[in-house]
Chain A
Amino acid sequence: MATPAPAAIECRNLWQVFGPDAESQLSAAMEQAGGDPDVAAGNLKEKGYIPAVRDANFEVMPGELFVIMGLSGSGKSTLIRCISHLLGATSGEIRIEGEDIVSASKKRLIELRRKKLGMVFQHFGLFPHMSVADNVGFPLKVQGVSRKERRQRAMEVISLVGLEGREDAFPRELSGGQRQRVGIARSLAVNPDIWFLDEPFSALDPLIRRQLQDEFLNIQATLKKSIVFITHDITEALKLADRIAIMRDGKIVQIGTPAEIVLNPADDYVREFSRDVAKGQHACVDSVMRPLDQKPDNMPDDPGLRPGMTLDAALAACMQCYEPVPVHDENGVLTGIVHPADLVAALQVETK
């Protein structure tokens, strides 16, 4: 990249291997494999080790919503626990706003968690013996913030997640959706820059899930956190993400925008995921647009396509068109052309 703006999170050659003395085993395996991570992971597996995350490389930009998606056992939960340093990574580099946290001291780590990091858990991780307000205020309590101030800040975030009036309830008295709102409020109590969400909506039923997703997007639109969001649900990933990383067997197989994932899957595994997805809603006209040098001499129709239109909208506009049509940008400048046949082809649900 041309501008070296420090990424919010940066992971380089990150490995998490489970088993006794994993560190030296990993470096031995890497040496033996001549630096090929796939071969090394295979060797480790044969010895009974579990390479839960292998050679992960990615960065999350400030304000970006980065989704990690994979099936259960693909290593996504392990990966987020490495980044938040709930697990010590076996090898590799993790930088948070440029600061290496693998080598950070215990004290510094606590400091970081108190100021910069927030995390939401799949099963909420609420403290059963504390009221909603005490749960939300807990991250402030451990910093020694006064009772009054804690309460005040807790009430702010509680109203942000729409739980006013329930602040003195106990977790056992709340519904699943309400519990996760508490979890979200708690993770936002210290106003962290970086927000980890580990399958936050997976334990909820579909209606509540959709509602919380929408509210989450609203909150993010105002707060602009740098987010790592874990999910096993491709629809959720496509709906929320700026970019998606897809994991399989501990390996990141593709990183890309929702449109890239849907239209250009890197392999069969990714394709399998996006098979049942309504692609027209996630990909835009620019993904099937051809350059101007392929412009035919005459374009009879102009249904008024824009580069940012979804394919569904474009197709609806082009129902009566059989010849290539022009695409104009916001200022009316011709930027490319689209073959209606390409639209149809892109939207074809794969039947393989």
Chain B
Amino acid sequence: MSIAEPAPVTAPWVGRLTPGTRAALITLIAGAVTLLLAPYLPWITIWPDAWTLPATQWVDTGLGLVLNLIKPAARWFSWLMEFPMTWANFALVSTPWPLVIGVVTALGWYLGGASMAALGFLGLIFVLASGYWVESMNTLALVAVSVPLAVLTGGAIGILANEVPRVKSAVQAVLDIMQTVPTFAYLTPLLLLFGFGPVVGLIASAIYAAPPMARNVILGLERVEPEIKEAAMMSGGNRLQQLFLVEIPTARLQIMVGVNQCLMAALSMVIIAAVIGGFNDIGWEVLLTMRKAQFGQALLAGLVIVVFAVVIDRMSATLATDRRRFDARVTYGILGATVIVTALSLGFLPDPATLTLLDPVADSVDSSLGDFTAANGAALNTIKNGAMFYGLLPLRIGLDEAVLPFTWGFSWTPAMSAGLFAAAALIGAVMALRGNVVGGLVVLIGAGILETGVAQMPWPFVLIAVAALGWVASGWRLAVISVLLLSTILISGLWERALLSLYLSGAAVFACAVVGGAIGLLCAVSPLAWKIMRPISDMLQTIPLFVFLIPVLMFFQIGEFSAFLAICAYAIVPMIRYTRHGLVTTPDELIEAATSSGATEWQIMRDVRAPYAAPTILLGLNQTILYAFAMLVIAALIGTTGLGQSIYLALGQADVGLGVSSGAAMAILALVADRLVQGFAEERRKALGL
């Protein structure tokens, strides 16, 4: 048909650019301008001290006032909490260990039958044999008190948000923030409020564990079918009856998911809280042995933590399924046998603290590790240095400073910079000519970042780039909010440290995205690969953050590379999971339509599955980013620079101002990254009509 299209209204060439192209172009120009001006205007690269507001001190003074005000109440609460803690501790530590093991086994049977009973029994036998029985029971006692606290508070918050719709969005925003503020950052103010001692760990873990509970309660109550709610109403129930007789029981599976997450979070935090010391628990044991470089023992203690995590996770997870009932007679039988065995053996029982059955194993781990590092030290060092010199360092301080005779064997010259940019411009031009203008521009921007280094990016460039990203991802609002939030970091003088954190987590996220994406893809195509990866992923997600530090320390000692590895090990899982999930859940109809059009397996993957999975994969990336930030702070224990280090230092010096502002800066980075990625995911989902 040759019906004349109405002529376009003399569009200037700018008008025809897509938003993405325009944003990339603006960012590129901003980068080029700042790069050119940087030598003449030093304030572009380094935010001058004179412009810095003493925000950290203000926070310190302000919070100090508030904390002092509520200190009496806190101390009273702390005193009050001593009671259940002492009881729980007494109950767990002084109960003869066969009784504890028997009760856990019976509980395992009750919850999940033979497999759970075996898991509980073997797990606790391992703990007993490791010689860390008392330390473990101390940790468990803390969890036993903090979880009910967190479940009740979280549940109450969830119900409140459900009952009062006006506060719901506010509550959800607070929950978001609570989960992005790094765990260490809570500890400093809590330390001031409650004084040294296990109560801080208790409160911190309750605070950390309450949000997942609240979230799941909100979600569960929201998802109760409207007709069930209406049926309760039409049956003449008053609001309390509707809530407690119908809505909460109907939402119980989701609420139990909350209890499971709450347990895991509490355990993880109780162990992290060991860094403040003063309590003979298992986390402290790991820290102590790690510091003494007794890696065999550290590994053993770490495994004890993993055993606890797995037992608690798997057992509580059965609550969140419509579970089968198991024969109650077996439960009673196990309990009865336990009581008899305990009674008979009372007086002959060895003191669990003297049990060192696994010490030889630990020692042999130590000696073989020594042998291994002695034999392969050179290889390990090559790996480490290679990654540092050719990967992390250039990313951090840029090729112009990282390329030295000492590292790369030659010096970086301006000519090389020119060459880099020329190559990037060439690639960019080719991509632009083939239709991918945005991609071409991004290559150029990437070259610029590689030249300067992430940690030395000029701040105006960062702000403009983030604004551009925010604008493309979801519009002006996000752009403005992101810039405002980042500006608070800038003017409070934490910018350099923030960039250092950004660089390390960015590097880890990038590695996770590439490697995790590839593994996810592999798992999507090969069921066998997934069969192998699935338990590994499950395990990695169950292990408390802290434990990741042990193996990397064993092989690579303290340093940025170890931290990088620990972050990757923890943060890679969501990327794998979401990538696979997105790729395998493409609707059958789409696959059938593609197959009947004659597409090959690979074409289906590239043209049907991947685009359909894009929003899901982006969500995985989002999770990976949040995980990386969470781990970054823990990794400060083994040597990172940046905000994580500041938070850790502040804890040691009880510097509330520095601790809280650095924590806030960290949360801001995480929130901005979260919103940007969510924005893109949302945009993709809309584009697909999902």
Contacts and interface: CB of A to CB of B under 8 A. Distances in A.
Interface string B212-242: 0000000000000101101111111110010
A142 B233 CA distance: 10
A179 B377 CA distance: 69
B29 interface: no
B598 to A, nearest CB: 38
Nearest to B230: A86
Nearest to A142: B237
A127 B250 contact: yes
Contacts of B245: 138, 141-142
Given A86-B233, A119-B231, 9 more contacts: A110-B236, A110-B237, A113-B234, A114-B236, A118-B234, A127-B246, A128-B228, A138-B246, A186-B231
B168 interface: no
Interface string A180-193: 00010011001000
Contact of A126 (B230, B231, B249): B231
A213 interface: no
A121 interface: yes
Contacts of A111: 236
A123 B231 CA distance: 11
Interface in A192-210: 196
B236 A139 contact: yes
A142 B231 CA distance: 12
Contacts of B685: none
B384 interface: no
B22 interface: no
A187 B234 CA distance: 9
Nearest to A130: B249
A129 B225 CA distance: 13
Contacts of B250: 127-129
Interface residues of A, number: 30
Interface string A114-155: 110111011111111100000000110111000000000000
10 contacts: A84-B234, A86-B233, A113-B236, A127-B232, A129-B250, A139-B235, A139-B236, A142-B236, A186-B231, A186-B235
Given A128-B250, A129-B249, A141-B245, A110 B238 contact: yes
A176 to B, nearest CB: 14
Nearest to B237: A142
| A-B residue pairs, 5 tightest by C-beta | A114-B236, A125-B227, A125-B231, A113-B236, A139-B235
Interface in A77-134: 81, 84, 86, 110-111, 113-115, 117-119, 121-129
A143 B236 contact: yes
Contacts of A126: 228, 231
Nearest to B228: A125
Nearest to B235: A139
Contacts of A122: 227
B627 to A, nearest CB: 34
B252 interface: yes
B637 to A, nearest CB: 45
B contact face: mostly helix, strand, loop, or mixed = helix
Among A118, A138, A196, find the residue whose CB has the most chain B CB atoms closer than 10 A.
A138
Nearest to B231: A125
Nearest to A122: B227
Interface of B: 225, 227-228, 230-238, 241, 245-246, 249-250, 252
Contacts of A115: 236
A81 B237 CA distance: 17
Interface in A4-30: none
Contact of A127 (B228, B236, B238): B228
Contacts of A86: 230, 233-234
A113 B234 CA distance: 6
Given A127-B246, A129-B249, A141-B245, A121 B238 contact: no
Contacts of B237: 110, 138, 142
B233 A124 contact: no
A138 B250 CA distance: 14
Nearest to A183: B231
Among A125, A129, A139, A143, find the residue whose CB has the most chain B CB atoms closer than 10 A.
A125
Given A128-B250, A142-B245, A117 B231 contact: no
Given A123-B227, A125-B228, A138 B234 contact: no
B615 to A, nearest CB: 28
A72 to B, nearest CB: 16
Nearest to A87: B230
A329 to B, nearest CB: 44
A285 B235 CA distance: 44
B252 A129 contact: yes
Contacts of B238: 110, 142
A121 B235 contact: no
Contacts of A183: 231
Contacts of A143: 236
B458 to A, nearest CB: 45
B452 to A, nearest CB: 49
B233 A125 contact: no
A111 B230 CA distance: 16
